[in-house]
Amino acid sequence: AQSVTQPDIHITVSEGASLELRCNYSYGATPYLFWYVQSPGQGLQLLLKYFSGDTLVQGIKGFEAEFKRSQSSFNLRKPSVHWSDAAEYFCAVGSMEYGNKLVFGAGTILRVKS
Amino acid sequence: DAGVIQSPRHEVTEMGQEVTLRCKPISGHNSLFWYRQTMMRGLELLIYFNNNVPIDDSGMPEDRFSAKMPNASFSTLKIQPSEPRDSAVYFCASSFRGMGTEAFFGQGTRLTVV
């Protein structure tokens, strides 16, 4: 079965500092991996996705993520965090073998201090 | 496209009443998902449809929950009778069923059962 682990429930970083949010997945087939962001009271917005090719993918708002098959990880990074990045971030895994349904991690709440 | 449209945005109902949540997916998408989000359980997939056919409803918590998709542009999630523990944010998402495609989320319906 698919599963996604986001080990950090909360992370606080200073504005301008770099950010890395961790995501590990458990999956037997070829996964598609996603990062979504959710602001309070809003739906989920796609930041970036990986399904093949270059293992370093670029997304919106200056985010990037690297797929490491050997570590079953898909960590999200940003070199310099802005106060507007404060939100909850979700990693998700999907696969054609499972009808493209997405399984989400528990989420990481990012706080940005000025 | 206006994106995935959910209605109502907020619903407050009394225990025992029937509740119907509605979703209009993005035109051309052939997969539709219903998720429930709570603090305790995070984002849970309740049910998903491919080409209007329910594929996996293993996430539906009880027989009190039912979902339909009578056509490609409309889906409902019904709870009858509702209970306070059903209070949550319910999200509808749609995607085009293909390799590596992402799901697009609606704004959600915040349900409060008192």
**Count of CB pairs separated by less than 8 Å, A with B:** 57
- Residue A81: CA atoms inside 13 Å, Cβ hemisphere, count? 21
Residue type, B26: I
Residues comprising chain A, all counted = 114
| Separation of alpha carbons A114 and B43, rounded Å | 30
Q: What is the pLDDT of residue A28?
A: 65
Residue B1 pLDDT class (50, 70, 90 cuts)? low
Give yes or no for A44 touching B (CB within 8 A).
Answer: yes
For A39-52, write each residue's pLDDT tens digit. 988 899 999 999 88
A24 or A98, higher pLDDT: A24
CB contact under 8 A, A99 and B48: yes
Closest residue of A to B57, CA-based? A101
Is the Cβ–Cβ distance between B27 and B7 less than 8 Å? no
Give yes or no for B95 touching A (CB within 8 A).
Answer: yes
For B4-49, write each residue's pLDDT tens digit. 999 999 999 999 999 999 999 999 999 999 999 998 989 999 999 9
For B68-110, write each residue's pLDDT tens digit. 999 999 999 999 999 999 999 999 999 987 666 789 999 999 9
CB contact under 8 A, A51 and B99: yes
Give yes or no for A67 touching B (CB within 8 A).
Answer: no
Nearest to B97 among A32, A100, A104 (CB): A100
For A65, phi then psi, to 5°, come to -145, 150
In chain A, which residues have their Cβ closer than 8 Å to the Cβ of B92?
Answer: none
| Separation of alpha carbons B87 and B110, rounded Å | 8
CB contact under 8 A, B91 and A96: no
Query: Rg (Cα) of chain A, in Å, rounded?
Result: 14
Closest residue of B to A31, CA-based? B100
* Sign of the four-CA dihedral B55, A94, A10, A89: negative
Give yes or no for B49 touching A (CB within 8 A).
Answer: no
Mapped onto helix, strand or coil, the DSSP state of residue A62 is helix
Is the Cβ–Cβ distance between A48 and A64 less than 8 Å? yes
| β-bridge mates for residue B111, sequence order | B11, B88
CB-based contacts of A100, cutoff 8 Å, min separation 6: A32, A94, B31, B95, B97, B98, B101, B103
